[in-house]
Every structure is written in structure tokens, then in C-alpha cells.
Structure 1
Amino acid sequence: MSLTNCRFYEDKYPEVDSFVMVNVKQIAEMGAYVKLLEYDNIDGMILLSELSRRRIRSIQKLIRIGRNEVVIVLRVDKEKGYIDLSKRRVSPEDVIKCEERYNKSKAVHSIMRHVAEATQTPLETLYENIGWPLNQKYGHAHDAFKISITNPSVWDEITFPSEPVKNELQQYINSKLTPHPTKVRADIEVTCFGYDGIDAVKDALRAAEADNTPENQIKVRLVAPPLYVLASQCLDKTLGVKLLEEAIVKIEERIKAAGGSCTVKMAPKAVTEHDDAILQELMEKRERENTQVSGDEDSESDDE
């Protein structure tokens, strides 16, 4: 048994009428020779008549060597190893579903392969003991892997080949599939020119942080008056955006009651590390501009 090669699923061959992901290897007069990526690269063929519903003028425009294609299985001859496939009978919806399943299966395969190499356990053994039983119980091993991050009971009915395999698999799943927080940010200008203007601005901005919880926190940072940044980190980007939107409404209500105004310069959105770096640069620049240089007085006294 190999440490790196194995089919993704328990069945050695795909079912007739199922959708599979293939890679085009060669184009001939009869059609295109392909490898079934989910079935350990076994051979298949898309017949010329199954490439397109329209009249074929150029095969190269329909299919190219090296490209992945979603196809449907027409016939499987297990004795001779022939698998006939069709591209023309696949709808756009079928392509989306197949691609989603293939990407999940590829992610599982990558994790299993790492564990196989790290523990020197044959890949097929891992699939037999872990991957295929999880496919049966959870619909897909990838879904089970994600659940296992917060609910280790997923492993209760799994018979691991060894304790090192179990430990390596759990650690690698946690490092690969644990969701990372998304940074969400909004830029606002808050002004109030009344008698208690400064205190009114502070009070309005505190309203944004008033309902912070350990799970969901909003931080307000000053760039340079009157520009402020609201920032939050959430696993759910949509929730993060909603939190900032609600915080801005609170700030607007408070500052308007005090006779001031709040203007949104950048609506709440997910930001990248690059966006953060630009903001930090801007803050440092404003800080330098506001710092008073006291070297002029010294030079005047020297001249005297």
C-alpha cells in the first residue's frame, strides 16, 4: 500500500450517472482521454459525441489538455477498466455541486496524506479506518473534521490504527481547519463644536464599546481629530459588519443629541493586513505632524 496514493471514496469505481472530476490527458480522434482525480487517477474517456450538444468545429475550443472538467459517468466496465464519460450532459448546477464536493475531498486527502507520511501509515489504511466511515456517517469526512474541532466525540466510533495517528490527525485538523477571525473596520468623523464638545465626542464613542462581550468586541481608535476608526474581529464577517453598523447608529444618536455630527468615511467592511498597514502608517504620520519640535529654541540660545 502507498503512503501517498489512494482513491478518495470507498467504491473503487464511480456509479453510473454520478458526476466526477477529471483531468484531460490526451485528445484523439475518438474523443478525450482523461484521469478520474477522485478515483486514484484511473483512466476514462469522453467520446467525441459526448463533448458538446452543438456541432463540433474545433475540439480544442471545447476541451484542453491539462484542464480539469466535470463530467457524468455513462458506462463502467469493471472487468476491462473502461469508463465512458460525457461532458455535454452536465449542467452548470452540476458543475458547482461537483466542484464543491471535489474541493472538500481534496482537502481531506491533503490532511490524510500528511498524516500517512508523518506516521508512516499506508494512506488506504487511514481511509478504511477513518475517512470512509466518516463519509458514511456525516455525508463527508470534511464536515466531520470541522465538527471535531469543537466536538471530539466525532472520534468515539473510529478505530485508529495507532495513537500517534490519532494525535497527528487531531493536531493537523486543528491547525488547518480552525476558522481564523476576520478583521472588520469602519472609519468615521465625529465632531461637536458645543461648549462640552470634547466630552460629547468621548461620550458618543464610548457608546460603541458599551455592549462589548468577551466574544464580540469593538475598539475605537483615534487617527487624528475628527477621524476615528471602529474595529472588531469576528469569525463571522457578516456579524462583524452588523456590530459596527449598530455601533455607528449609537454614536450618531449620542452626538446628534449633543448638537454634533457623525459622518461615515468608510462603511463597515472586512479588511486585510495591507489595509491595516496603511492605517498604521497614516496614524504614525499624523502623530509626527502633531509632535512639537523643540529644537528651534535651542538654536536661538546658541546664537546669543
Structure 2
Amino acid sequence: MPSSSSSPTPAQASTSSASISKTSISKINVDRDKYDCRMYENKYPEVDDLVMVNVRQIAEMGAYVTLLEYNNIEGMVLLSELSRRRIRSIQKLIRVGRNEVVVVLRVDKEKGYIDLSKRRVSPEEVQKCEEKFLKSKAVHTIMRNISEKHSISTESLYEQLGWPLYKQFGHAYDAFKLAIEEPERVFGGPENPYGLDAKVLDDILVNINRRLLPQKAKIRADIEVMCYTFEGIEAIKEALRAGETLSTEQIPIKIKLVAPPLYVIFTNCFDKIQGLELLAASIAKISEKIVSFGGMLNVKMNPRVVSDVDDLELDAMMKRAEQENAEVSGDEDNSEEDDSERAS
């Protein structure tokens, strides 16, 4: 007896598959539209604004770019606006895929045309724009992350929180940094003036602390300290202690022995420049002290910021030195036993 429900024909299956595929693509596009958003309240930049662009294509007339801070709307840098000098090679001036700082010359909001210039931007303006872009990008990453996690549009989150913070604090990044220490001052505490859901606000604070909290820099120098006079070891100890006296609460200085005469002097601190300067001053003080005892100091590695890989290499070096010392100690013990046996 034939079944009442017939299986779909190949044509029906193909149509159904295509329908599902179109639905999936449509959903992806809707999600992308929901979370894609400009960084600033104005939909378009103003004339004379400095903006960060990404070069997409180089043509005869100039370079086609996208404005990264304005949701990748398109703009163009005319050939005549690439450089003040005669152009011998466009590739040396501008490359596809590279980010560039440019200034806005004209904006046609109705047609969506934006003319830009690279040659009218000074080195100081480049630095200023790069700093602003990095701050805006950090804010945007947090806003986008929160939007996707809570399924709310990025633009609505900007309207509710981001852009008001730009107006109040000059830049939302500065507000977020302040929120690390004083969250109530930024977000209003129980009053919740921005009308944020409690879970959304909690996640914003978690994101801010994870992404914007300053990370301590690891700074290290390697030195050799030697003294062959009568004071010897005591002179070395006193010299090293003199170097450690420059230690502060913010920049604590520590010195470890790797294997005589090699020592590492290191610190962890938020201010990298001050850390480098203090370690250099500490080395100078150690040198001054050991020289006064008739010894000497050699700098094997000047103070520099080190990575986790450097730390692993240092640990391995210290373990090797410890093992070598243990082997030497063992040889000495065996030698003493042999001497006692021969004596008996």
C-alpha cells in the first residue's frame, strides 16, 4: 500500500535547500547590519577633520579608501592630493591594505562623495589622529562586544551610552579609563542616568577592566659584579644593596644571582620610562660602590622591557647554573672522600 506522505522530488529538495541558504545569508546580513556602526555620532566627518582610512584600491585618478571610524564609508584621495612632491611611484606613497591618516577636503552627504588629502597632513597631525583612532577603536571593541553578547544594536548602545560619554568627557575612552577607579562617577551609580540594564552595565565594567586596565611592564638588566680585593663578597653584597636603595613603592627593584659574577636586576612597573631610568640609575650606583672597593661592574644587557619568553630563558639559565653548581659541589665532595681514603 503506497505511503500517504511522498518523499520530495530532487527539484523540491533543491528549492528547499536554496531557500534555507538564502535565509541563512539574509540572517547573517541582518546581524552584520545590527552590529556594524560608526564610532562617532555624526554620520559623516566634517571638512578639515583628520580621519583614519584603509586603502582599498589604487586607480588612475587616485586611491579609493574606506573611513574606518565611519563604518567604512567610501572616500577618495585624488592623485594630486597624495604628495607635495612629484610622484614617481604611487606604491611608495600609498599601498592597498595600509591604514593612512588623511584630512577631509569635501563632503557631499547627498551623493555620499568624500574627497580626502594625504599631502596636507603634517607629521604632528598624523600622530594626533593615530592616538585618537586607537582610543576610539578600543571603545568600539567594547561596545561591539557588549552589543553582540546582549543582542542589542551597536548604534542603540552608542546612542544610549557611548556618544553621551563623548560629549561629557571629551572621549568615551577617557570616561572608560576613569570608570576603572570611579565607576559611579561615570555611570551614575544607583541613579543609572543612561538607563542601562544592570547585566549590560556589569559586562561593560568587566570589559573595561579586562581591556583597559594598565599592564605592568617587566624591565630587566644583566650585570656582572666582581671584586678580588680583601672585602670581596662583602663588597659585592654592599654594592648590590646600594642599588636596591633606589627602589620605590611604585617601582620596586630586585636583584638576583644567576651565577657568579652574573646578576639580574629587574622591576615590574606601570611607567615604562621611569622604570628604565631607575634601573639605569641603580646600575650606576652599584658601579660607583663596587669601584670604591676596588672592584668592577660590566653591563651585559642594558635595561629593557622583556617578555614572558625572556623570563622563561632566564629561568632556564638559572636552573642550568644551579645544576652546574651542584655538579661542582658533588665533585668537591668526591675529591674530599678520595683524599680521606688515601690518608687512611
TM-score range normalised by the length of the shorter chain: 0.7 to 0.9
Taking the aligned partners of 1:109 and 1:249, their CA distance within structure 2 comes to: 45
SS, match of residue 80 in structure 1: coil
Write the letter of the residue equivalent to 1:145: F
What is the number of residues matched between the two proteins? Answer: 299
Shift of 1:143: 2.1
Q: How does 1:251-270 map to 2 (within 5 A)?
A: 251-270=286-305
1:32-80 Cα shifts (integer Å, max 9, x gaps): 4432221122233334444444566766665444443333222222233
- Contact persistence 1:130–1:158 (CA under 8 A): no
Residue 271 in structure 1 maps to residue 274 in structure 2: no
Structure 1 pair 246–120 and aligned structure 2 pair: CA distance change class (3 A):
same
* Aligned ranges 1:38-49 → 2 under 5 Å: 38-49=69-80
Residue correspondence of structure 1 range 128-139 to structure 2 within 5 A: 128-139=159-170
Q: Provide the residue aligned with 1:94 in structure 2.
A: 125
Matched ranges for 1:118-157 at <5 A:
118-152=149-183, 153-156=185-188
Extract unaligned runs of 5+ from structure 1: none
For 2:129 and 2:278, locate their aligned partners in 1 and report how far apart those are by CA, in whole Å: 35
Structure 2, unaligned stretches of length 5 or more?
A: 1-29
Once the two structures are overlaid, the 10-residue window that deviates more, 167-176 or 99-108, is 99-108
Distance 1:145 1:177 in 2: 8
Q: 2:113 aligns with which of 69, 82, 96?
A: 82
**Residue of 52, 59, 71 corresponding to 1:21:** 52
Bigger mean CA offset, 59-68 vs 280-289: 59-68
Query: Could you say what secondary structure the match of 2:181 adopts?
Result: coil
Q: Alignment identity in percent?
A: 56
Distance between the aligned counterparts of 1:64 and 1:265, measured in 2? 41
Correspondence for 1:113 = 144
Greater relative contact order structure (CA < 8 Å, 6+ sep): 1
Q: How does 1:89-238 map to 2 (within 5 A)?
A: 89-152=120-183, 153-156=185-188, 159-210=194-245, 212-238=247-273
* Higher Rg of the two aligned structures: 2
Distance in 1 (alpha carbons) for counterparts of 2:314 and 2:176: 37
What's the CA shift for 1:115?
A: 0.9
Shift of 1:9: 0.5
Q: Which moved more, 1:260-269 or 1:145-154?
A: 260-269
1:4 aligns with 2:35: yes
Letter of the structure 2 residue corresponding to residue 188 of structure 1: I
Q: CA deviation at 1:289?
A: 1.7
CA RMSD of aligned residues (A): 2.9
- Return closer, same or farther for 1:161/1:187 CA change in 2, 3 Å cut-off: same
